[in-house]
Homo-oligomer: A and B are copies of this chain.
Amino acid sequence: MKNLLVTATLFAALASPVLADKMEISPNGARKTALGPQANFTGTVMVESYFGANEDLPQTGALVTFLPGARSAWHTHPAGQTLIVTSGTGWVNEEGGKKHEIKPGDVVWCPPNVKHWHGATSSTSMSHIALSNVREGKNVTWMEKVSDEQYNAP
């Protein structure tokens, strides 16, 4: 007999232990929200970890909220990342690219090793679910901050 296991703890850690053969529910309200570290973000960014990687799932998931003007630093993902915008309006750009506006329901694929940033617009907040694939224990490589000039450029 299997029983549905309601737990947030097993589910929240990167590289968590092997999961049992039971469904697990990580309830809303049971996960802490952390501030995005200043080394990797400009402005106020909130990160709520949805799930960590496990041996069946080489991926982490998080809800990331950017206040107006906030954005990630430039970065790459060793195994790619999918963003699903859930609220607000934001901007995304890649090196040498043109800035694009993203809105709820837009889905963005960032291929491995493409240098890019994402964040809110200068006047609106933006939240997205970030699904970051893990390769050799790593899901991101952080680089320099996005300057105001880069951020505000068209």
Q: How far is the CA of A25 from the CA of B25 in the complex (A)?
A: 30
Q: How large is the interface on A (under 10, 10 to 19, 20 to 34, 35 or more residues)?
A: 35 or more
Complex interface: stretch among A38-46, A66-74, A92-100, A139-147: A92-100
Contact partner, A3, options B1, B11, B86, B96, Cβ 8 Å: B96
Is A110 located at the chain interface by the 8 A CB criterion?
Answer: yes
Q: Check A28/B106 contact, CB under 8 A, given A4-B93, A22-B94.
A: yes
Using CB atoms, name the residue of chain B closest to A29: B105
Interface residues of A in 26-74 (CB under 8 A from B): 26-29, 50-51, 56-57, 59, 61
Of all chain B residues, the one with the shortest Cβ separation from A96 is: B1
What string of 1s and 0s marks CB contacts (under 8 Å) between A2-36 and chain B? Answer: 11101000010000000111111111110000000
- Of the A-B pairs whose beta carbons lie under 8 Å apart in the complex, a sample of 9, sorted by A's number, is A3-B96, A11-B107, A23-B111, A23-B116, A25-B100, A26-B109, A56-B112, A57-B82, A84-B129
